[in-house]
Amino acid sequence: MSYLSLTSWSLHRHLGPLSWSKWDHDKKEIVTEVEEQPLNLELVELPGVLSEKGFQAVEIVHAHFHSTELDYLQKLGQSIKESGIRFYALLIDYGDISTSDPIRKEKDMDFIKSWIDVASIVGAEHVRVVSGEASPKDKVALQRASVQFTEICAYAKKKGVGVLTENFRSLASTSENCLFLLEHTDLTGLISDFGNFSGPNKVDSLKETLPKSKSVHVKALTTRDGEVDKEELENCLALLRDADYTGPLTLVYDEPGDVWKGINKVKDIVKKHI
């Protein structure tokens, strides 16, 4: 049976500054760019809030961590444990394992492994690793990514953490590439995001990845007047039954206005499919 989850990205305008990791091509190193946001809710308070609002799991974007010091990570882990919800996935939003640049490959791999360490300390069940920024038509890059995933998965296994990838960014923007990576690596599974496939093949692509998915990101599209496109969302949710999907339904909401009001609109629609 599926269950409700929320990504921290849905609250990115409330959880304080975002620490984005970027590749500096000139310096050949990873740099951090801080995006200022209001701090209306501490990350360590989020699990308790979500539990009170009826969620059973959370997925947290790495940029929302205000520290990677041990005491902070232990405090967050304790908060999640006390809330009774699952920390299903730590979403690592940086890293290009499809790159042909040996310097970037080494530094990005070290970066990803460092966040696997964080996931292990806090108690995340999985990490989401981006497959890469190469063109989806670049089969050499796809093979490079599969080799890197083999190393990443072996490292994560020692830490007790599963590894997922998502139909996110260029390389994994096709169902064909998502399934190739799953079949040729030790990935735990896929994340299918309703909003990341687009065009006339969207439904067919979801039909292909959903049966292999361990998490679904329920990203609702909106109409011209800013309302949730209920019909489009219902059509995507209807695919879950044929896929025999039983994992978390992670709500992704990023529209202007009262964010909790918007989240609840999506939540009310999703609950009908649980």
- Please give the backbone phi and psi of residue 103, each rounded to the nearest 5 degrees, phi first: -70, -50
Summarised one tens digit per residue, pLDDT across range 149-176 is: 999 999 999 999 999 999 999 999 999 9
Q: What is the pLDDT of residues 175-226, one digit of tens each?
A: 999 999 999 999 999 999 999 999 999 999 999 999 999 999 999 988 888 8
pLDDT of 247 above 90: yes
Q: How many domains does one find in the chain?
A: 1
Instruction: Say how far apart CA 47 and CA 35 lie, in whole Å.
Output: 23
Reply yes or no on whether the pLDDT at 46 is more than 90.
yes
Q: Which amino acid does the sequence have at 60? A: I
Higher pLDDT, 35 or 226: 35
Average pLDDT, the chain: 97
Nearest one of 69, 37, 67, 62 to 130, comparing CA atoms: 62
Global model pTM greater than 0.75:
yes
What range does the domain containing 31 cover? 3-271
Q: What CATH number has the domain bearing residue 197?
A: 3.20.20.150
Render pLDDT for 47-73 as a digit per residue (tens, 0 to 9). Answer: 999 999 999 999 999 999 999 999 999
